[in-house]
Amino acid sequence: MDTSVLIAIVVGAVIIAGLAFYAGTLLWRVQQQRLAQQQQAAQLQQQKAEKALYLRDSIILICKAMREEQCELSEGSLRLWVLLDHLVPERTPDPVLSYPGLHQMYQVVKDMPTHQARKAQDKALTRQQDKVRLKAEHELKDVIQADVAALLQRFQAQ
């Protein structure tokens, strides 16, 4: 055999080995990316499940507090409505139609200031807002309690 043929065979074998190594490296990277994507998907699924459980538990806790009159109806309605709003994918049935008392009370109190803003505002305005809030609580009490019972039934069944 001629030396040039032998050199060509060796060079060809080195090139093929290099390409095979490169292809193997690429395949390994693709496999690692797939594993990472699967892990991310599993983590995302777990986070969604934890969030749903947290929302469910919070809704149940607030409903029980409202039912036992440990929480004002206006405060509970505001908190429940925000939690229900976070159940975006599960917005069936429509909360506005399913829980009209909570929705009406939320509409009354949603723009009222809380915490420091409430303390900082004029006392006469605070008294006026409290009067409106308490009147709405009194008028909507039965409807809100029915909504609370419906929410408890819905979320305790899960």
Q: What is the pLDDT of the chain when averaged over all its residues?
A: 92
pLDDT digits (tens, 9 = 90+) for 74-84: 999 999 999 99
pLDDT at 158 over 70: no
Residue 9 in any domain: the answer is no
How many domains would you assign to the chain? 1
Residue 122 confidence (pLDDT): 86
pLDDT digits (tens, 9 = 90+) for 102-133: 999 999 999 888 888 888 898 898 899 999 99
Concatenating the DSSP letter of every residue in the chain gives: --HHHHHHHHHHHHHHHHHHHHHHHHHHHHHHHHHHHHHHHHHHHHHHHHHHHHHHHHHHHHHHHHHTTSS-HHHHHHHHHHHHHT-GGG--S-HHHH-HHHHHHHHHHTTS--HHHHHHS-HHHHHHHHHHHHHHHHHHHHHHHHHHHHHHHHHH--
pLDDT digits (tens, 9 = 90+) for 21-40: 999 999 999 999 999 999 99
Residue 96 confidence (pLDDT): 86
Residue 21 in any domain: the answer is no
pLDDT at 90 over 60: no
Residue 29 in any domain: the answer is no
Residue 25 in any domain: the answer is no
Residue 99 in any domain: the answer is yes
Residue 108 in any domain: the answer is yes
Residue 91 confidence (pLDDT): 57
pTM: 0.75
Residue 24 in any domain: the answer is no
pLDDT interval class at 55 (50, 70, 90): very high
Residue 15 in any domain: the answer is no
Residue 156 confidence (pLDDT): 87
Tell me which residue range forms the domain holding 143.
Answer: 47-156
